[in-house]
Amino acid sequence: MTFPLLSPAYHDPHKYPQGVAFQDGQYLRMRDAKVSVLDWGFLHSDATYDTVHVWEGAFFRLDLHLDRFFAGLEKLHMTIPFDRGQVTEILSHCVALSGHRNAYVEMICTRGAAPDFSRDPRAATNRFMAFTVPYGSVANREQMARGLRVATSDVVRIPPKSVDPSIKNYHWLDLVRGLYDAFEKDAETALILDTNGNIAEGPGFNVFAVAEGRLLTPEFGVLPGITRRTVFDLCHRLNLDVSVGDLAPDTLKHADEAFLTSTAGGIMPVSSVDGVLLGDGQPGRITNRLKALYWDMHKDPTWATRITYPGDE
C-alpha cells in the first residue's frame, strides 16, 4: 500500500515564536523541539512543569519556581538527570542563546513513553525539556491600563482529591470551558468555581479581592502561585492585611477592587465581574500600589537572578 505525499502547496499552519529549547541534551530552535505522540505527557497530560519569567535580563524568584518544580517531580514519582544547579544552568543558556531580555521560560518533565506502549507508568522513561520565548502576559497593555473584564463560570475546577493543585499541570479542559463561558458573556477571561461554589482560580492565574483595605484570595483547590506568594510578601512590606479563605462570587462582585496574579503578567487589575463594575471601574489604589512595588522588586538582587548573555563577559 502506498500513501500520497503532502501536496507541494501544503504549508504548515503552525507558527512558532522565536526562542530556544533544550531537549535530549541539545539546544534547538523552538520550531525544532518535538514531543512524541506516544509520550504520556501528550496522551494523558501526565506531566508537571513550572514557568519563571525573565525581566530586563534577570529571572524573578527563580528559587521558588525550582522549589515547586522539584516538589512536583517527587509527588508524581518522576526523576530527571539534572539537579537544581544544572536546571538553572540549562534555563540560563536557553535565555542567553535566545537573546531575549524579557522572556517566558518553562521547565517541563513528562512521564515519557514506554518502548512497548505499556500502560504501566513505571515502564516509561521520564523526559525533561525546557524552552524560552518572548515574554507574554495574560493581560495586554490596554487591559492592564483599564482593567480586565472577568466573568464567573459555573464550571467546577478539578477537585484537589483528584489532582493535587500544588503540582503545576496541564489539566486545562475545565479552564478552557470556563474561557468559552466568559467569551459568550463578552468578558475577556474567566474565573471558575471550586466544589463548594466559591471562586477558585482562572486559566493560569490566581485572584485577589480587596474590600475596606483588606485582601482575600481563595485557598481551596487552587495552585499556590508564585506571584500569589509574592503578593503576600509585598503586603507584609506595606502592612496590608491579606488572608486566604472562601471567596464567594457575590463577595467578589461587591469588592472595592480586584486583581489577578500570574508569572505571565504579574499583578493585573480587574475592572468588572459579570458586568458589574468594581469601584469606579478603574484599577484600584491598592492594586496599583502593589503592582508598582512588584515591578520595583525585579531590581532587588534578593529576588532577581542575573543572566550572562554572550558578550557580557
The pLDDT of residue 21 is above 90: yes
CA distances from 82 to 62, 73, 85, 168, 276 (A): 16, 12, 8, 19, 49
The pLDDT of residue 2 is above 60: no
The cell numbers describing 117, all together, are 506502549
User: What structural domains and CATH numbers belong to the chain?
Assistant: 20-134 (3.30.470.10), 141-298 (3.20.10.10)
pLDDT grade for 16, boundaries at 50, 70 and 90: confident
pLDDT above 70 coverage of the chain, percent:
96
**How much is the average pLDDT of 55-74?**
98
Q: What is the pLDDT of residues 247-265, one digit of tens each?
A: 999 999 999 999 999 999 9
Give the pLDDT score at 115.
87
**DSSP, residue by residue, the chain:** ---PPPPTT--------S-EEEETTEEEEGGG----TT-HHHHH--EEEEEEEEETTEEESHHHHHHHHHHHHHHTT---S--HHHHHHHHHHHHHHHT-SSEEEEEEEE----TT--S-GGGS--EEEEEEEE---SS-HHHHHH-EEEEEEEEEPPPTTTS-TTS-----HHHHHHHHHHHHTT-SEEEEE-TTSSEEEBTTBEEEEEETTEEEEE-TT----HHHHHHHHHHHHHT-EEEEE---HHHHHT-SEEEEEETTTEEEEEEEETTEEPTTSS--HHHHHHHHHHHHGGG-TTTEEE-PPTT--
pLDDT grade for 112, boundaries at 50, 70 and 90: very high
pLDDT above 90 coverage of the chain, percent:
92
Give the pLDDT score at 4.
54
d(CA 71, CA 119): 24
> Is 52:65 a contact under the CB 8 Å cutoff?
yes
Give the pLDDT score at 1.
52
Q: What is the pLDDT of residues 113-138, one digit of tens each?
A: 998 888 999 999 999 999 999 999 99
Give the pLDDT score at 7.
53
Q: What is the pLDDT of residues 207-226, one digit of tens each?
A: 999 999 999 999 999 999 99
d(CA 51, CA 61): 11
The pLDDT of residue 9 is above 90: no
Give the pLDDT score at 117.
87
The pLDDT of residue 5 is above 60: no
Give the pLDDT score at 297.
98
Q: What is the pTM of this model?
A: 0.94
The pLDDT of residue 6 is above 90: no
Give the pLDDT score at 14.
72
